[in-house]
Amino acid sequence: MTATEQTPFANEPVLELRRASVRAGLQEALATVEARLPVEVPVRIGADRRAGDAVISTDPGAPERVVARAAAATSDEVQAAVAEASRGLARWRAVAAVDRARALRAAAAWLRERRLELTALEVRECAKPWLEADADVCEAIDFLEYYARGAIELSRGRELVQVSGERNDMSYAPRGVVAVISPWNFPLAIPCGMTSAALAVGNAVVLKPAEQSPALAGALVTALRAGGIPDAAISLLPGEGEVGAALVAHPGVHAIAFTGSLPVGREIVRSAAVVAEGQHHFKSVVAELGGKNCVIVAADADLDEAVPAIVGSAFAYAGQKCSAASRVLVAEPIADQLLERLAGAVEVLVVDQAQTLGTDVPPVIEAAARERVLRYGELAAREGTVVASAPPPDEPGWFCPALVVADLPENSSVLSDEIFGPVLAVQRVRDVEHACDVVDGLAFALTGGLFARDPETVRRVRDRTPVGNLYVNRGITGAMVGRQPFGGNRLSGTGLKAGGPDYLLQFVAQRAVSENTMRHGLVV
């Protein structure tokens, strides 16, 4: 592939579970994955590997099942990984953009060939239902393909104003060593997106994955190296939070890409702002930090459209998405009708194991998450009214009921905190303007939704909302690479939108050169 031979980007199509052959293939892949458990995930620094079992990931639906045994990186290994990345940077940044793109696309092909097994591994390690797990693998492939093309485009530079006797050009250089700290809820797509973006433009990466999903991060590093990324340019440091903290603080790191909670994000921004002795650069931070996402339902909304979209946005993957709907702001004239229909839809949701076809709400990721969600559910029951509940099965696993709650006081923490679980709060508002006032008063501004028929209502909400991604008359989750660039405002994060045309700019330094082209004589 050359810079002039790029094919148009197209999203990887998701599997059609209605096909018996597809379902059979997934079951076969699950059996193959289970036969190989537990997966061994070593610390990987350059060509070196060190195995260990300090970090254990288990199946959220069957906590006795060990999915992966990972080593935990030491402080010395953090130092070694950054030093190795600095060496790898010199080699990788010298590779032409078209060749870097070719390596990313080869990594995408590696993932594509193993798609069913990776999907099955997500079902086991993170309890993602089949459709959600497959979509995550597709998104990882999309990021590799999209950023590969973007890197070639960026390598052409930008057109500047030219005048007689002068040549002006703008080029982009890699920042250096990028620390990627990724979450468990999109265990392949999010680390792949952050890592591939940094690599695409010539940086070296040290990846610290979430401790709950080391196996999938290990698969990503294997894919990248198999595609042609030099070992020195991509290292893997499994471990707990102190590994990420050490990476952020390291003076040899030039940029940090993080997706996770607001408290951790704030600490990363604070730590990254410190310029250590001998450090000659400021660290940049790209952070996606979650949300408290509201869906506004206007009085003229089509409830046949709104109800399934709200339920899917709130309860798919047990609400464990930063983009998930957690509040509904419904106009008073239709509030009772919406509550009745939401209750009917939620009470028939299937709360079950992730591998069971037809599961709507799987278990949450771990025991601590279950305890947190149950606490908020109990608080909501005390402060308001439980409108509907889908009960969990009576079996092992970190299951929570799916809840719809209403009549909460305005100061309830259920309305302001990111619960990250299957709890949906419904509030009555006077009208759309009142709903916009509520949204405007929130610290988070990630995603939002609007159901309304009147184009003028759509225009007003679009102009006023502070959220990074507004979805109109559709669900508010499931952003697609290249189609819905994703990222929030306010305390929902910093940086440019993932999967969009500007995202790569966060991982480069701009260089402008102006040359006087008037002849001053010849060198003899």
Tens digits of per-residue pLDDT, 80-124? 999 999 999 999 999 999 999 999 999 999 999 999 999 999 999
Domain ranges, ordered by start, for the chain: 41-159+168-289+492-511, 293-472
Rounded Cα distance, 301 and 453, in Å:
6
* pLDDT (0 to 100) of residue 459: 98
* pLDDT (0 to 100) of residue 521: 63
Whether this prediction's pTM lies above 0.85 is answered by: yes
Q: Among this protein's residues, is 288 annotated catalytic?
A: yes
Chain segment 297-355, per-residue pLDDT in tens: 999 999 999 999 999 999 999 999 999 999 999 999 999 999 999 999 999 999 999 99
Determine the straight-line distance between the first and last CA of the chain, rounded to whole angstroms: 41
* pLDDT (0 to 100) of residue 3: 44
Instruction: Give CA torsion, residues 101, 104, 108, 113, to 10 deg.
Output: 110
Answer yes or no: is pLDDT of 470 > 90: yes
Residue 214 tokens read as 């080391």
Rounded Cα distance, 95 and 234, in Å:
15
300 with 333: CB under 8 angstroms?
no
Answer yes or no: is pLDDT of 4 > 90: no
Rounded Cα distance, 233 and 81, in Å:
10
Q: How confident is the model at residue 524 (pLDDT cuts 50, 70, 90)?
A: low
Rounded Cα distance, 99 and 200, in Å:
10
More confident position, 444 or 4 = 444
CA 431, 436, 438 angle in degrees (round to 5)?
A: 100
Q: How confident is the model at residue 6 (pLDDT cuts 50, 70, 90)?
A: confident
Superfamily designation of domain 293-472: Aldehyde Dehydrogenase; Chain A, domain 2 (3.40.309.10)
Catalytic residue among 126, 138, 294, 322: 322
Q: Please, which residues have CB within 8 angstroms of residue 341's CB and are 6 or more apart in sequence? A: 303, 307
Q: What CATH fold (topology level) applies to the domain 41-159+168-289+492-511? A: Aldehyde Dehydrogenase; Chain A, domain 1 (3.40.605)
Tokens 């899917």 belong to residue: 312
Chain segment 359-385, per-residue pLDDT in tens: 999 999 999 999 999 999 999 999 999
Answer yes or no: is pLDDT of 219 > 50: yes
Taken in order 517, 519, 520, 522, is the CA torsion positive or negative?
Answer: positive
Catalytic residue among 12, 139, 211, 288: 288
Q: Among this protein's residues, is 322 annotated catalytic?
A: yes
Q: For the residues 185-193, what does the mean pLDDT come to?
A: 98
Answer yes or no: is pLDDT of 200 > 60: yes
Chain segment 414-430, per-residue pLDDT in tens: 999 999 999 999 999 99
Q: What is the mean pLDDT of the chain?
A: 97
Q: How confident is the model at residue 5 (pLDDT cuts 50, 70, 90)?
A: low
Answer yes or no: is pLDDT of 1 > 70: no
Q: Please, which residues have CB within 8 angstroms of residue 239's CB and are 6 or more apart in sequence? A: 54, 55, 70, 71, 72, 73, 208, 211
391: phi then psi, degrees, rounded to nearest 5: -70, 150
DSSP for 373-410, please give it.
HHHHHHHHHHHSEEEEEEPPPSSSS----EEEEE---T
* pLDDT (0 to 100) of residue 396: 92
* pLDDT (0 to 100) of residue 204: 98
Number of Cβ within a 10 Å radius of residue 484: 16
